[in-house]
Amino acid sequence: KKTYRIACIPGDGIGKEVVPAGQAVLEALAAVSSFQFAFENFGWGGDWFRAHGEMMPKDGLDALRNKDAILFGSAGDPDIPDHITLWGLRLKICQGFDQYANVRPTRILPGIDAPLKRCTPQQLDWVIVRENSEGEYSGVGGRAHQGHPIEVATDVSMMTRAGVERIMRYAFKLAQSRPRKLLTVVTKSNAQRHAMVMWDEIALQVSQEFPDVTWDKELVDACTARMVNRPATLDTLVATNLHADILSDLAAALAGSLGIAPTGNIDPERRYPSMFEPIHGSAFDIMGKGLANPVGTFWSCVMLLEHLGENAAAQQLMQAIEQITADVSLHTRDLGGTATTTQVTQAVCERIATTARRPLAA
């Protein structure tokens, strides 16, 4: 059997609940497929920080380097400042492995009560491509005269031509691969007159390589309104690190819940392992209670399988997910239901086993 080496990093909060759930579902798939998984678990995050003074070991990336993919939960601990947990773990991996494309699909799954009342599931099928290596989250900046009245603080939104070009090309290519071949380039070049103007210029330049892709530009603020009022006019979107961060939480909420949405932090050149995770965080308010919706992690596992080239298994998992969201008795509390993380996980595992047992139609 082909073996995929998968690193699991549950991290903090409900990450510790949803990542084992994801692992269980992947194991259920492997049991009915021609491949298997060799999981290695890494207990990095807030607890590691309390014991060692850092979120992950200094040579942590070396332990991940030879993996085929990473399944991640969340970084964020109630007792540690968020910028330490984020930069010390998740961003360290994203930047260390140059996972410059953050891909976030959004659809309204069957059975989910989405807040866009006039929108059918067919009218909301988006993929947001987030620049994941620079921009507003490049880490460039500083504070001077800290605590004094004359204090100055900056976070420089640093963009490089090479960085923008590669994410634009990725987004155009992705748009080209989807049925509608439609791309919206999200911008803010009216107010941010340097980097974002370059962003627009590069979009125009890269678009020449993709004559079959229809594309338009939208200011990020207007884009939020368009997502609510005219969802069907959007398909693939590309936006900066900060803009896409915000737009994709909005997208998830419009599709029913933050607990459903998946993401992949991808190195398209495959020099390093890519990392898949639900878009949500540690969810301090519900952690340890069995209330976490594991669907975002399951859908992230679908993306992980697609990345490995296991498209049949990916499809099988997506079908199982859609069957359980269609059943309101299997909705967790964020969807208005009473099901627990474990019940949803077991239901998905059972679906996978039964569909595999069902004989093929003659």
Residue 281 as a binder of ligand NAD (CB under 6 A): the answer is yes
Instruction: Please choose which of Mn ion, ligand NAD, K ion, none residue 258 contacts, taking the beta carbon within 5 to 8 angstroms, the exact cut-off set by kind.
Output: ligand NAD
Nearer to K ion, 74 or 341 (CB): 74
Residue 267 as a binder of Mn ion (CB under 5 A): the answer is no
As given in the structure block, the two tokens for residue 97 are 């492995």
Residue count, binding to K ion (CB under 5 A): 2
- Quickly list DSSP for 292-341: ---HHHHHHHHHHHHHHT-HHHHHHHHHHHHHHHT-GGG--GGGT----H
Q: How far apart are CA 3 and CA 30, in angstroms?
A: 10
Q: How far apart are CA 44 and CA 55, in angstroms?
A: 6
Choose the stretch contacting Mn ion; rule: CB under 5 A; options: 79-87, 242-250, 266-274, 304-312: 242-250
Residue 280 as a binder of ligand NAD (CB under 6 A): the answer is yes
Q: How far apart are CA 203 and CA 322, in angstroms?
A: 35
Binding mask 244-263 for Mn ion (x = CB under 5 A): -x------------------
Nearer to K ion, 263 or 340 (CB): 263
Residue 86 as a binder of ligand NAD (CB under 6 A): the answer is yes
Choose the stretch contacting ligand NAD; rule: CB under 6 A; options: 163-171, 219-227, 279-287, 313-321: 279-287
Backbone torsion region of residue 270, taken as left when φ is above 0, otherwise alpha when ψ lies between -120 and 50, otherwise beta? left
Site for K ion in 266-285 (CB under 5 A): 277
- Quickly list DSSP for 81-105: -HHHHIIIIIHHHHHHTT--EEEEE
Site for ligand NAD in 285-344 (CB under 6 A): 285-286, 292-293, 296, 332, 334
Q: How many CB atoms are located within 10 Å of the residue 60 CB?
A: 20
Q: How far is the CB of 84 from ligand NAD (least distance, A)?
A: 10
Tell me the β-bridge partners of 74: 11
Residue 74 as a binder of ligand NAD (CB under 6 A): the answer is yes
Q: Which H or E run contains 129?
A: strand 125-131
Nearer to ligand NAD, 54 or 165 (CB): 54
> Contacting ligand NAD (CB under 6 A), which of 16, 67, 90, 107?
90
Residue 259 as a binder of ligand NAD (CB under 6 A): the answer is yes
Q: How far apart are CA 223 and CA 117, in angstroms?
A: 19
Residue 261 as a binder of ligand NAD (CB under 6 A): the answer is no
Phi, psi at 135, each rounded to 5°: 65, -140
Which positions lie near ligand NAD, rule CB under 6 A?
A: 14, 74-76, 82, 85-86, 90, 258-259, 277, 280-286, 292-293, 296, 332, 334
Which positions lie near Mn ion, rule CB under 5 A?
A: 245
